[in-house]
Amino acid sequence: MRSWTATGRVVPAAAPLDRFTIEATVEQVALVAAVFFALSANGPFLSAAARGHAAAELGTWAYMLALVTALASLHFVLIALVANRWTLKPLLLLLATASALTAHFTARYGVHVDASMIRNVLQTDVAEASELLTWSVWTRLLLYVGVPLALLWRVRIVRRPALRAMGVRAIWMLAAALVGVAALWAVLQPFSSFIRNNREARHLITPGNVVWSLGTVLARDVRGAAKPRQAIGVDAKPGPSWAARHKPMLFVLVVGETARAANWGLSGYARLTTPQLAGLPVINFRDVSSCGTSTEVSLPCLFAPVGRRDYDRARIRDSEGLLHVVSRAGVAVHWRDNQSGCKGVCDGLPNETVKVDGAPTLCANGHCFDEALLHGLDARLAQAQGTQLLVLHQIGNHGPAYYRRYPASFAKFVPACENEDLHQCSRAEIVNAYDNALLYTDHVLAQLIRQLASHVDAVDSALLYVSDHGESLGESGLFLHGMPNAIAPDVQAKVPMVMWMSDGFRSHTGLSDGCLQARSARAASHDHVFHTVLGLLDVRTSLYESAFDLSAECRRDAPGSTRAPL
Ligand SMILES: [Zn+2]
């Protein structure tokens, strides 16, 4: 290589660094890139984190500085993990492009980059994609990819012996990780409160979100291709009572969220948090243990034939569940979600998320009150055929922003905590907000029962409501949930469970109400849900265990029932 000097004399390139080329190590370039990404592509994340913090306060700026530091550290470690002398520049080109596009679409359309968004992108065709590539996108790409890349091309990466390069890299990564952790540690209180209440905000961390989501999609595809969910209950078939049905049957399973038994009016709480249900002929199970203390554990467990009594997370995750089994017997299954999805238990089955535009009066800021789950139920009942299982997944008492879970008309217990940072409220205020949210769940369930009851001439119906886990509200200094089962307090592990059925459903299944009322006073758990639903729907399979069917001893036709036919 030769170059020209200012005097026009040709010199040999023995010293190849010209005045526009600089020499840098992989780590130095990665650090500059990480800081660049943290500052240029994370505006939406930082402004979400800053919400509720006064711009005039010095503490807010320290908080922002800590977050930028943590973002830079995170991205440095990501880059340093895979980059070397040859891969660094192509990698940064990809990351810069992904960052610029993500930042653009997030700012413009409020896009969150998660696995399903990545799937959307991967499945987008050229025509759709080209419609999105407007002039403003090209401008952004030029400024945030073209210019930095032009600079990067002037950098010559320092060459180092392999062993030494690995040693230096390890030290840099360790240092970056420590700086990142220290920065987060310094703002742990506001940051953890922010993340707890804005879990979705993690999808705004750019370009980490793209890398993570792409990795998730690839891992799922590889795992999914290698290992399909194991079929269970392959012998499931309708029981003999199906032939005798004169009317369609609708069973509604409501999966509650974070409702704890300790504050459930029907179970003896001092406050009337369930005034509407108290006026309806429901069966309230007073002593119900949840499978786990988090949605991730309890939800799949609720739909498994063997849950807590021989808990095996991998077996539950890799197998089909209740919905697949009843579906195999001919039950039409439908999952409606007002929360974070069905965690795999409705995979391959009809499911939908409550839509903001489906019930505009009940939805705001991207969230819907649980009554939106009932939207369209009358039409479903009017058109009902055969045997149906409808699952409604509530947002319920999801914290810490309990006050966001109910409309203003349910703010009966006041003053209620109206701050996501629970430490800013008194215990009484926190409990007030929590109880108001329960009061709203009482209303939603009662409304659901009234709707089912208004169609009993045409449809036999039944309801089973059960919460996924409880909640700590400051007892022993604990808040929220998720404690390991072994040490979880009862407030996190005891949940409300309520049953209702139409007269037609009761007489068809031969259920004795008094018998069920007696059963409801004894202990039960999430382990009972799978077998109770099988029993009530009369789905026959070798998986069924009458010992875990709450209705078994009270039903005329139950397999294994000791009751004489009525
Ligand atoms: Zn939950």
Please spell the DSSP secondary structure of 249-302, one letter per residue.
EEEEEEEE-S--GGG-GGGT-SS-S-HHHHTS--EEEEEEE-S-SSHHHHHHHH
User: What letter does residue 415 receive in the DSSP assignment?
Assistant: S
pLDDT tens column, 61-86: 999 999 999 999 999 999 999 998 88
Name the one residue in this structure whose structure tokens are 């703002």: 187
Sequence-ordered list of residues with C-beta below 8 angstroms from that of 347, at least 6 positions apart, any chain: 229
pLDDT band of residue 557 (cuts 50, 70, 90) is low
- Residue 168: Cβ-neighbour burial (10 angstroms; 0-12, 13-18, 19+): middle
Distance 258 CA to ligand 1 centre (A): 5
Buried b (16+ CB within 10 A) or exposed e, 274-285: bebbeeeebbbb
Distance 365 CA to ligand 1 centre (A): 21
Residue 123's pLDDT is: 57
What's the mean pLDDT when you consider all of the chain?
Answer: 88
Residue 545's pLDDT is: 97
Distance 189 CA to ligand 1 centre (A): 22
Distance 253 CA to ligand 1 centre (A): 16
Please spell the DSSP secondary structure of 125-178, one letter per residue.
-HHHHHHH--HHHHHHHIIIIIHHHHHHTTEEEPP--HHHHHHHHHHHHHHHHH
Distance 510 CA to ligand 1 centre (A): 34
Please give the structure tokens belonging to residue 565.
């036919």
Distance 259 CA to ligand 1 centre (A): 9
- Helices (DSSP H) in 403-550: which residue ranges? 427-453, 490-493, 503-509, 513-520, 527-537
Sequence-ordered list of residues with C-beta below 8 angstroms from that of 183, at least 6 positions apart, any chain: 65, 66, 67, 69, 70, 73
Distance 295 CA to ligand 1 centre (A): 4
Q: Is a pLDDT exceeding 80 seen at residue 225?
A: no
Rg (alpha carbons) of the chain, rounded to whole number = 29
Please give the structure tokens belonging to residue 471.
């909640």
pLDDT tens column, 418-458: 987 677 899 999 999 999 999 999 999 999 999 999 999 99
Distance 468 CA to ligand 1 centre (A): 5
Neighbouring C-beta atoms of residue 378, cutoff 10 Å: 12
Rounded to whole angstroms, how far apart are CA atoms 528 and 422? 34
Pairing of strands 387-393, 460-467: unpaired
For residues 512 and 554, the answer to whether their CB atoms sit within 8 Å is yes
CA 87 to chain centre: 35
Residue 226's pLDDT is: 60
Distance 357 CA to ligand 1 centre (A): 25
pLDDT band of residue 12 (cuts 50, 70, 90) is very low
Of all residues in the chain, the percent with pLDDT exceeding 90 is: 64
Distance 498 CA to ligand 1 centre (A): 17
pLDDT band of residue 282 (cuts 50, 70, 90) is very high
pLDDT band of residue 26 (cuts 50, 70, 90) is very high
Distance 93 CA to ligand 1 centre (A): 40
**What is the mean pLDDT of the segment spanning 199-216?**
87
**What is the mean pLDDT of the segment spanning 23-36?**
95
Distance 95 CA to ligand 1 centre (A): 35
Distance 537 CA to ligand 1 centre (A): 26
Task: Give the closest residue to 387 by CA, choosing from 253, 558, 537, 544.
Answer: 537
pLDDT tens column, 127-179: 456 556 778 789 999 999 999 999 998 999 998 888 999 999 999 999 999 99
Distance 257 CA to ligand 1 centre (A): 5
Residue 37's pLDDT is: 96
CA 463 to chain centre: 24
Distance 292 CA to ligand 1 centre (A): 9
Domains in the chain: ranges and CATH:
18-224 (no CATH), 237-410+444-470+492-554 (3.40.720.10)
Neighbouring C-beta atoms of residue 26, cutoff 10 Å: 21
Rounded to whole angstroms, how far apart are CA atoms 256 and 258? 7
Please give the structure tokens belonging to residue 130.
């080209």
Q: What is the pTM of this model?
A: 0.66
Which H or E run includes 60? helix 58-82
Distance 309 CA to ligand 1 centre (A): 20
Which H or E run includes 91? helix 88-109
